[in-house]
Amino acid sequence: MAPRKLAAGNWKMNGILASLDEIDALALAHENAGCDILICPPALLVQPAAWHGKQIVAIGGQDCHANASGAHTGDISAAQLKDAGAEYVILGHSERRADHNETDAQIAAKAAAAHAADLIAIICVGETEAQRDAGETLDIIARQLAGSIPAGSTAANTVIAYEPVWAIGTGRTPTNDQIAEVHALMRDRLESLVGSAGDVTLLYGGSVKPGNAAEIFALPNVNGALVGGASLTASDFGAIITALDAA
């Protein structure tokens, strides 16, 4: 089994009900896409987004709690996301790691909860600019993978996204060699962490745009993208989907 290609959009804290028209446009334009298409809107929009996706565009959450239910004001469980129509959940995004002090161990616990609720966990890893400048990138990625991937992870329930923190929303991207180097390391380490490493979908994220998508998708071990800003409109995200389809 080859990894499934995935074009994943992370709307972050953007979008209102009217924004779901973009999902309608994606579903219409890409109903025969040869890759999986995913939009992760803010939590309030997950349920209506699932109706708009028409089973062409899958829907995901941007976080979940590690517990199945209980006294956790303001949090959302994996089962609630699933009940609302989500199929995926992004976990350990660097904005969550930074804004909410999320640790690798907490991310692993959330991923285990996601798996228990039959969600696919998109586990994010990535180095800061200071860590890259210090030559620590591969060590950081290896450590985050080892700490953030729970037992029981498989190629079917887990996607890994490499997102250098310094490339997110900046218009800057690593060189092709730098992306390929990290993705090769991830593929290697996943053999012991997930098994069937060759089947795991690996995404690159960080300033993916219509203009650079094809070049990134041509790199070895890159099976798609986790896209922020360019996923907010069907025109830009559609161009990225088309590039992935052709890769």
Ligand X SMILES: O=C[C@H](O)COP(=O)(O)O
Query: Is 229 one of the binding residues for ligand X (CB under 6 A)?
Result: yes
Q: Could you say whether residue 227 binds ligand X (CB under 6 A)? A: yes
Q: Which stretch binds ligand X (CB under 6 A): 63-71, 133-141, 162-170, 216-224?
A: 162-170
User: Does the footprint of ligand X cover residue 201 (CB under 6 A)?
Assistant: no
Q: Smallest distance, Å, CB 105 to ligand X?
A: 22
The annotation status of 51 as a binding-site residue, yes or no, is no
Check residue 165 for interaction with ligand X (CB under 6 A).
Answer: no
| Angle between helix 137-148 and 176-193 (nearest 10) | 30
Answer whether 129's CB lies under 8 Å from 167's CB.
Answer: no
Q: Is 52 a catalytic residue?
A: no
Cα 25 to Cα 31, 81, 211: the distances in Å are 10, 23, 20
Residue 224 touches ligand X, criterion: CB under 6 A: no
| Residue in 87, 95, 102, 163 annotated catalytic | 163
Provide the H-helix boundaries in the chain: 21-29, 46-53, 78-84, 94-99, 104-116, 129-133, 137-148, 176-193, 213-217, 234-246
d(CA 190, CA 207): 25
Select the residue interacting with ligand X from 41, 60, 174, 206 (CB under 6 A): 206
Residues annotated as catalytic (active site), given as ranges? 93, 163
Query: What does the binding site for ligand X look like in residue numbers (CB under 6 A)?
Result: 10, 93, 163, 168-169, 205-208, 226-230
